């Protein structure tokens, strides 16, 4: 017979988002979140490389905001004739994993936010601020999620969209619209800068290979250091 002194089950842990024994959906969602982190790291060298050599392709593959600004600069000089096609693809690719956060909110409510906020006191403050903003803004928060400020707005807003009952179709429609609006803004910024940005891109292209190699070394080095620290 179980007693109060019994150890908690592995899933009943403060570092996990669920409050129940996880089922297939819970494990699948958590696996997707882990995959997103690994995928983001793996894509860093490619992003650094393509930013210098082919910004339109970078936008089409990843929805990169810096790549979109660079593509805008190239387009202003007639060097990106099919920019609208790459921008449309970029809008889709930039939201390719956002549904995972919505799903996490639908499954666990604020559970994932609590996990992120529990990393440190600073993280707790940042997530509390982001959640306050998201709660006040409602569905308009989908457009604010892309504001480039040092707060985890995007993750919090997407999780809360799922936890508050927003349908998947509405979430994806608003997310696509918001992403497209912001990418158009970055494109316009690059277009406005124009030739000076193109000159800078051409100069960066000379070192793009070295940047990609440095990012690969950084990823493997930081991973090895983190594993060694855990082992000690």
Of the listed ranges 67-76, 79-88, 112-121, 197-206, the least confidently predicted one is: 197-206
Task: Indicate the pTM of the whole model.
Answer: 0.83
Position 1 pLDDT exceeds 50: no
- For the stretch 33-41, contacts whose Cβ atoms lie closer than 8 Å and that sit 24 or more positions apart, written own/partner, are 33/100, 33/104, 33/112, 36/97, 36/100, 39/97, 41/219
Look at residue 4 in the predicted model and tell me its pLDDT. Answer: 46
| CA-closest candidate to residue 154, choices 113, 123, 125 | 113
**Residues 80, 56 contacting (CB under 8 angstroms):** yes
pLDDT digits (tens, 9 = 90+) for 47-86: 888 888 899 999 999 999 989 999 999 999 999 899 999 9
High-pLDDT (> 90) share of the chain, %: 48
> Taking residues 97-122, what's their average pLDDT?
91
Look at residue 74 in the predicted model and tell me its pLDDT. Answer: 94
> Taking residues 109-116, what's their average pLDDT?
90
CA distance 94 to 184: 13
**Residues 52, 123 contacting (CB under 8 angstroms):** no
High-pLDDT (> 70) share of the chain, %: 83
CA distance 112 to 81: 42
């Amino acid at each position: 017979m179980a007693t109060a002194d019994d150890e908690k089950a592995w899933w009943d842990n403060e570092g996990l988002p669920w409050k129940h024994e996880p089922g297939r959906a819970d494990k699948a969602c958590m696996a997707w979140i882990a995959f997103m982190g690994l995928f983001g790291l793996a894509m860093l060298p490619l992003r650094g490389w393509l930013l210098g050599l082919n910004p339109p392709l970078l936008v089409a593959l990843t929805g990169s905001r810096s790549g979109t600004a660079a593509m805008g600069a190239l387009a202003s000089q007639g060097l990106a004739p099919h920019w609208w096609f790459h921008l449309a693809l970029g809008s889709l690719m930039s939201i390719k994993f956002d549904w995972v956060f919505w799903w996490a909110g639908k499954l666990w409510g604020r559970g994932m936010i609590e996990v992120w906020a529990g990393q440190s006191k600073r993280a707790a403050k940042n997530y509390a601020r982001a959640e306050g903003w998201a709660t006040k803004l409602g569905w308009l928060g989908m457009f604010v999620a892309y504001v480039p400020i040092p707060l985890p707005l995007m993750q919090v807003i997407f999780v809360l969209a799922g936890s508050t009952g927003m349908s998947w179709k509405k979430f994806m429609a608003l997310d696509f619209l918001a992403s497209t609006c912001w990418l158009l803004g970055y494109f316009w910024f690059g277009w406005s800068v124009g030739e000076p940005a193109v000159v800078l891109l051409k100069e960066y292209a000379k070192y793009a290979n070295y940047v990609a190699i440095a990012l690969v070394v950084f990823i493997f080095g930081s991973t090895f250091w983190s594993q060694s620290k855990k082992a000690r």
